[in-house]
Structure 1
Amino acid sequence: MQKIIKSLRWMLIFLAMGQGYAETLDRIVAIVEDDVILARDLAREEAVIKQRIAASNSQMPPDYVLRKQVLEKMIIDKLQRQLAERAGVTVSEEMLNGSAEDIAQRNRMTMEQFRAEIESQGITYKAFLENLRNEIIVNQLRAREIGARVKVTDREIDHYIETQGKIGDQAIQYHLGHILLAVKENASASDVQKAQSKANELFEKLNAGQDFSETAISQSNDANALKGGDLGWRTIADIPSLFTDVVKDMKRGDVAGPIRSPSGFHIVKMLDVKGVDDHIITKTKVRHILIKTNELVDDNEARKRLLALRARIDDGDDFAVLARSHSDDKGSAIKGGLLDWVSPGDLVKPFEEAMAKLGVNQISEPVQTQFGWHLIQVLDRENKDNSTEYQRNLVRDAIRKRKIEEETELWMRRLRDEAYVEIYDDRL
């Protein structure tokens, strides 16, 4: 009944537009709840995906297959954005621009170079920012809907290490390809049998040499389908638990499956394997004096005060005594400014960068962070094998990531199954 009402509502809208006016509008290829996907948007997304497939040297699937996959991806994206809008999830311009700058830095480019690189690929920077905004919104939505309820206990970590071994003992990373033939939660026995038969057929063809990437693009129902099913490099801890026992015995080029899960039938391929180095970190024993800025103390005044304190230390005054009487970081001030031993990532980036440039017992010039202005002194450094703690953190992150992936797959499938979607395209 709800679908009939919605169909009638859209029919009335079209009739009300009038034939002459309707002809000036772009053709609608799908209705997704109360929104639409236009032919020009679908064509634009198809062009982007084709360019990506060509750049990866994968074989291009037939146009009708690619079109179906791209439209399905757009439907899922639109449903997620609609849900995000209802939930009040937004992205500020500051956050958006900051994310773009982070991507540029990771690619070792200035913003000018990064922007030129994007536009050289036929994508406007405005379109890139809009896609990035949507990606951030969807990630925030998933974190809200799924991430917040996924917990990992110490007992789970201990159990994993007992049964799977330590991360450091694995010393292997796997590059996996993945194909999912989805099955609805309430699918009939006949539908399940059809999906299994199709999965068995695909498995035989892939083992006979059929291109995995092309098959994933044309057949897979998972979120990585348009990337050729590429899951990237992962340790055994990062791989869904459904595949771990299978993956450990696979060699480069092996195909395994079909593997049944609540989402459907999975086929995985071992694209490549490589080793992993031990985890050694440099820990730093550091202390500081902080001067915060406020209505009475601006940046210049805070910097002047720290320079005066530094001059007193150079003349023989004790750093710890001055920290106790002058530092605005009350937690460390009572310990003479001591932050004790810190690991990479424990402190904010400007502080860590300045600290890394100091020799033992050397005192910095005034350094500005979001908390105010600092004098920093490094007291000692040591290299430490952090493998045990690192392993536990890796296992914790891996179990959490695995749970989130499994929950996200089910959540997205449920979101799609429960949504009102009508497709108006004779080619699909």
Structure 2
Amino acid sequence: MSLRTSSFFAALGAAAAFACADVQAQTRELGSSGVLLDGVAALVDEGMVLKSELATRMSLVVDNLTQQQEQLPAEQRSPLPPLSVIESQVLEQLVLKEVQLQRADRLGIEIGDDFLNEALSSVADQLGLTLEQLPEALAQENIDYAMYREDSRQDLIINQLEQRDVISRIAITPRELEQCLQRAEASLTNEFLYNISHILVGVSSAASPENLAAGQREVSEILTRVEAGEDFGQLAVTYSDSPTALEGGSLGWRRGSELPTLFSDAVTQMQPGDVSEPIQSGSGFNLVRLNNMRGDQRVMVDQVRARHVLITTNEVLDDDAAMQRLRGIRDQILGGDDFSTIALAVSEDTVSAADGGDLGFMEPDSFVPEFAEVMTSLPIGELSEPFQTRFGWHILEVLEHRSYDQTDDVKEQQCAVEIRATKTEEEKQMWLRRLRDQAFIDTRL
């Protein structure tokens, strides 16, 4: 697998591999000492885009466009745009990147080596490599690892900037969320599998009012017997006028999209074991039983409700002093003082302190590992010994456990992601235009 096309980062980092000597020679000037000096392609506020950067990126773009054309059938190939057009487009991309990086720097957005290594490890893993093997693999494709890392770091910085300035500010209205959930529900319904059975009390389409009334009475009586506990299949064998009567009325497994239109509205609202109210059709009166269904997977999570008191360290209060202070607080609570009152008065977790230290129902994995370990191991109603996390020193009490159906929450989160995705590109383009308009840009080509 080519590293140039196997990942987002590789496509960026591969720029160094395609540097074209002819193009670069045209973008540099000889100094008086005979040493090649780099030129400026554009000034961008406090920074600049060098002509060597532009030449490197141009080579990559031209090479990629050429490869794309070569992969097409001969009759579908077309000449590349003029180099001047490509150069203008590439320079605009580099200018916008410089504008974004400068804004990120002003906001203090940084990507540390640990975070960068995690991202590159993920790329390496997709290629079946370790992070340690990645430099050698890049070298085999003439890609400089240091440049690859720097390009990757810059793109992670820009991603975080976009999260801050664009994605986090996209508003989702209740109506948009409701419509998305309705579409998702309809789509899921069509993919579910339903096992249904059916009883038909046949009545001619030309039946008299008296015959219609008799058929309605009969189907109501059958429904009463089903509700009283009689077997639906046996009643179908005995009374159904449907061709499936001898199979106990079974219609087998059907996808939601394959359900008879007559039954679909009722069946999709039922739970396994439910029997519909009588449904009138041109052939008579129908009863439908939902025997089973597949595909309705609920998302269940184990949650814990706990409360805590947090004491942080500082220049005056070191770890030993913080631990001893919490021991004293613990003794007060064990002696009968109210946990909530103490947490409100002394806890330095200001959010939970306002609720008496109560953290609400949460999944233990939502917390740092040290906190989660105590939360999962502590019996209900027992007060922990003081323990330390990166946030400071804590004492903790577990109040309740529960198994929570998170299905609806997950659906709402998925819809929120979907709605933001549909709005992101337009919002991003407007944001980039504003950044560019506010920047000083002097093109030197």
Query: Normalized against structure 1, the TM-score is what?
Result: 0.50
Which structure would you say has the larger RCO, counting Cα contacts within 8 Å and 6 or more residues apart?
A: 1
Give the letter for the 1:117 counterpart: Q
Q: 2:36 aligns with which of 8, 17, 24?
A: 24
Aligned to 1:386: 406
Query: Does the 8 A contact of 2:309 with 2:396 survive in 1?
Result: yes
Query: Does the 8 A contact of 2:307 with 2:358 survive in 1?
Result: yes
Query: Does the 8 A contact of 2:38 with 2:50 survive in 1?
Result: no
Aligned to 1:118: 134
Q: 2:299 aligns with which of 268, 279, 302?
A: 279
The CA distance in 2 between the partners of 1:337 and 1:398, in whole Å, is: 35
Give per-residue Cα distances to partners, 1:50-89, cap 9 Å, x unaligned.
Answer: 9xx9xxxxx7999x97xx8997886454122222255464
Q: Classify the secondary structure of the residue corresponding to 2:309.
A: strand
Q: Classify the secondary structure of the residue corresponding to 1:151.
A: coil
Q: Which runs of 5+ in 1 are unaligned?
A: 1-13, 54-58, 173-274, 424-428
Query: Does the 8 A contact of 1:168 with 1:391 survive in 2?
Result: no
Q: Number of residue pairs matched?
A: 296
Query: Does the 8 A contact of 1:171 with 1:277 survive in 2?
Result: no
Aligned to 1:79: 95
> What percent identity do the matched residue pairs reach?
26
Question: What is the 5 A alignment of 1:74-223?
Answer: 75=91, 77-85=93-101, 87=103, 89-90=105-106, 95-100=111-116, 102-103=118-119, 115-122=131-138, 126-143=146-163, 146-147=166-167, 150-165=170-185
State the Cα RMSD in Å: 5.5
Give per-residue Cα distances to partners, 1:24-56, cap 9 Å, x unaligned.
Answer: 24799x769762342797279849x99xx9xxx
Q: 1:337 aligns with which of 357, 365, 387?
A: 357
Aligned to 1:36: 50
Q: Classify the secondary structure of the residue corresponding to 2:112.
A: helix
Query: Does the 8 A contact of 1:366 with 1:374 survive in 2?
Result: yes
Assess, with a 3 A threshold, how the Cα gap between structure 1 residues 137 and 95 changes in structure 2: closer, same or farther: closer
Q: Classify the secondary structure of the residue corresponding to 1:120.
A: helix
Aligned to 2:322: 302
Give the letter for the 1:398 counterpart: E
Q: Classify the secondary structure of the residue corresponding to 1:384.
A: strand
Q: Of the two, which has the highest radius of gyration?
A: 2
The CA distance in 2 between the partners of 1:406 and 1:291, in whole Å, is: 46
Assess, with a 3 A threshold, how the Cα gap between structure 1 residues 16 and 395 changes in structure 2: closer, same or farther: closer
Q: Classify the secondary structure of the residue corresponding to 1:121.
A: helix
Query: Does the 8 A contact of 2:180 with 2:415 survive in 1?
Result: yes
The CA distance in 2 between the partners of 1:313 and 1:294, in whole Å, is: 25
The CA distance in 1 between the partners of 2:90 and 2:300, in whole Å, is: 43
Displacement of 1:285: 0.7
Assess, with a 3 A threshold, how the Cα gap between structure 1 residues 143 and 79 changes in structure 2: closer, same or farther: farther
Query: Does the 8 A contact of 2:300 with 2:407 survive in 1?
Result: yes
Query: Does the 8 A contact of 1:290 with 1:328 survive in 2?
Result: yes
Query: Normalized against structure 2, the TM-score is what?
Result: 0.48
Displacement of 1:374: 1.0
Aligned to 1:376: 396
The CA distance in 2 between the partners of 1:322 and 1:82, in whole Å, is: 52
